[in-house]
Every structure is written in C-alpha cells, then in structure tokens.
Structure 1
Amino acid sequence: MNAGPVTAAELARAGAALAAESARFAELGWMRGTSGNLSVVLRDDPLRLAVTASGRDKGELVDQDVVLVDAAGAAVADQPSPGQRPSAEAGLHARIAATTGAAAVVHVHVLAPVLAAERWPDGLVLRDLEMLKGLGRAAHDDEVTIPVVPNSQDMTLLGDRFARVHDPGIPALIVARHGVYVWGRDLAQARHRAECLEWLAAFALAAHGRPTPIG
C-alpha cells in the first residue's frame, strides 16, 4: 500500500470504484433510499479509508461522493476533496478494517440476514452448504456461526459488540433489525461474500425457520 498522504487522484479513483459498487447494490435493492455505505482502505498507518458520502442516493453516486476518514471514522481535516460528510457508521468501517485487516467493507440493508437474526438472535448457524465456500469456509463438516449483535446508534458501542463476537474465520456481521457488514481483500470479494450471505440466510429461513443448526 502506498505511503504518504492520500492524493486527490487516489481518492477520486476510490470514489469511482465505490460508486460503481454502490450502484450494483442499489440495483439489488440492498441500498434503498440513501441507506448503506461502502469503504476501501487507502492507508494502513495511519489508517485512512475512503467512505461513501452520507445522504446521497447510492444508485447515483459520482467520483466526488466520497470522504477520506481516519481510524475513528472522522473526516480527515486536510483531505484532498473536502466538503462531503461521512456517515456516522464510518467509525464501524474503520474498526472492522483495523481489526480484520480487510481492505474493503460493505454495509448494506439486505433483508434475509436481518430476518434470520430475528429467528436466531444468538447467531445464524450453518453447515453442509456449498455456498459456504463463498465465505471462505468448507462446504461440508464445517459449522459456521454468523454473529448477530444488537443495533446501536453509538458506533463505539457497536464496535465493542463486534469485537466481542468477532471470529477471524467469519467475514461478516449481522446487526439486528438493521443490516450486515461484510468485508474482504477488495470490493469485489466483499460483494461476493455479501451475495453468498444473502443466499445462506434465505436458505435457512426457507428450509427451517427455527433456531436450530442447518445440516
């Protein structure tokens, strides 16, 4: 990863990538209204992330609809493209990136995992499903629990809840009655994992609909 301050050109490239991914999710109905946010890591030390700007229709973002934030999720004062406001949830993006080493985090309001969290508030337990490969797990004889945490408007509290349930082998978190956070080595992998999580949650709801392991 590059060293030194983030340049305007770097932030614009990140903004273009985030806009393209946001449009994909909006088309799926996973970023309704102005909801949801995506991020990519641009620097490790100190941590700097490019995050989609708050209050924008995620299906209509442009390169400039991006904010450079620090490890606390606050806009960097001398960012190369000032004037945009980050979502309050940028703090959790930064916490996840710092904890997991992920280079991209997606937060979307996909319905199936949120409904699954209503049925299984202690975690969505899955096994013996081919789609688990999409989360980097084995298709057979590998029990996977997608963690669920209660929602909060306090990102420090929500980050602490994430830290308590985080399993390095599970690249996803369900926030009850809210949405999901999924991460990966880049935006494409994070998106693929989000798509697989949606399928897995939909399967669990359709096949069982009761709080027992899938298998």
Structure 2
Amino acid sequence: MTTLPSREAVRAAGAALSAEATRFSGYGWMRGTSGNLSVVVDRDPLVLAVTASGLDKSLLTDADVVLIDAAGHAIDPDDPRPPSAESGLHAHIAARTGANAVFHVHAFDAVVAGHRWPGGVEIRDMEMLKGIGHLADDETVTIPVIRNHQDMTVEAGWFDEVYRPATADVPEVPALIVANHGMYAWGNDVAAARRHLEITEWLLRFAVATR
C-alpha cells in the first residue's frame, strides 16, 4: 500500500497548481473545466497531485487536487473525488521524462497547429526557442503531435513513439500536442513547466499565424 504524502505537502502542491490554473484560465487556455495540471509529490513510489476533475479551473483552491499513482489511479481512500481522465498520461510523462510538473491546457493555436501539421510542427530560427532549451539559429525543433484517444495507455504508447530524451548534444523538446485536443508541457518544477508551456504556445501561435 502506498504511503500518502503529508497533508502539508499536498496543500502546498494544491496551492501551486491553483495559482497556475488561475493564470492559464486568464489566457483562455483552461476554459470551464478543461485542462489539468499536476506535480510530483513523491518518486518512490511515484505519486502526483493532479487537479480534481469537473471543477472550474479559474476557481481552484489548494484543496482541489487528487493524489494518483503511476497508473493514474486515485490512491487516497478518504477522497472520493475522481482524478482527471488524463491523469494516466500525466503520470507516464512524469515517469518517462523525470519531470516534476506536467501541465495540460486547451490552447487554441496548439489545436490548430496539430490539425495543420499532424506529423509534427517544425520551428527554426526563432529567438524564443532558447526558452525551451534549444538554439535560436540553425536548428530545426519539432513539436511532436499524437492522435487523440480516450485510453491513456494508448496515448502513453504514442507518446513513447515520438518522445526523444535529451542527449549530450540535443536537449529534449518538453512539449507535446494531442491532435484535436490540446497540448502538454513539462519541466523540473512548476516554474519550468510554466515557461515551457507559455513559450511553446507562443511558438505555435506564430507558426499558425505566419504559414
């Protein structure tokens, strides 16, 4: 049986995620109850706090998170609330990439970009690429796209097909588009995940507007 993290740790995670949800709702990326955010609160075994399902993301509090395991299943027997339907992919991304924060939003231009370029969105020679760890010149960066599916184990498999871990020469691309759905971005902490999400969305918005 998984040992639950402390109440203080869960509330701290909830406070961080509610602040980010308010920010992204203000951008129009988490309209109504759409989107979900998570942070890792333990690694051994993997436990994440993820925003609870069915709530207006502009109105979350520090109590509005559900604890999940590596399979995306709720683990607190005293909490009847369901986690987000996408929780399994959050957990998979955290485990696969080593990220400690995973953010999923329904940014409109990301959906348009995934529809327009289902094989991936190529971006190069943009100063903003530095913000996701890549070169501003002479490097083509591809934001991968996978199809949408209601089964997160299927999406996890598709994620593994397109994800390229960092090497000594090439950093990872810390973002993913799910076609006809939205986008994910992740990072070592909340600030990094936010930065990767905001910068990738800006790059996608530029691509949609100029091609």
Q: TM-score range by the shorter chain?
A: over 0.9
Match of 1:199 in 2: 202
Runs of 4+ in 1 over 4 A off after TM superposition: none
Match of 2:26 in 1: 27
Find the residue that maps to 1:114 and give its secondary structure. helix
What amino acid sits opposite 2:33 in the alignment? T
Pick aligned residue for 2:193 from 187, 190, 194 = 190
Offset of residue 60 of structure 1: 0.4
Quick one: which amino acid aligns to residue 129 of structure 2?
Answer: L
Indicate if the aligned counterparts of 1:91 and 1:155 stay in contact, CA closer than 8 A: yes
Distance 2:81 2:76 in 1: 11
Name the CA distance, whole Å, in 1 between partners of 2:102 and 2:24: 13
SS of 2:149 mapped into structure 1: coil
Partner of 2:150: 153
Fraction of identical pairs, as percent: 57
Q: Which residue of 2 aligns with 1:16?
A: 15
Given candidates 114, 122, 128, the residue that maps to 2:119 is: 122
The structure 2 residue matched to 1:95, chosen from 68, 92, 97, is 92
Q: Which runs of 5+ in 2 are unaligned?
A: 166-171
Q: How far apart in 2 are the matches of 1:50 and 1:205?
A: 33
After superposition, give the CA deviation of every residue in 1:14-51 in whole Å (9 maximum; x if it has no partner): 11111111000011100001000000001111000000
User: C-alpha root-mean-square deviation of aligned residues, in Å?
Assistant: 1.1
The aligned residue for residue 140 of structure 2 is 143
Shift of 1:91: 0.3
**Shift, 1:189, TM fit:** 1.2
TM-score, with normalisation over the residues of structure 2? 0.93
Distance in 2 (alpha carbons) for counterparts of 1:189 and 1:71: 22
Give the Å deviation of 1:89: 0.4
TM-score, normalised on structure 1?
A: 0.92
Q: Please tell me whether the aligned partners of residues 4 and 76 of structure 2 are also in contact (alpha carbons under 8 angstroms).
A: no
Secondary structure class of the residue paired with 2:196: helix
Question: Number of matched residues?
Answer: 203
Contact 1:65 1:84 in 2 (8 A): no
| Partners of 1:128 and 1:141 within 8 A in 2 | yes
Name the SS for the 2:176 alignment partner. Answer: strand
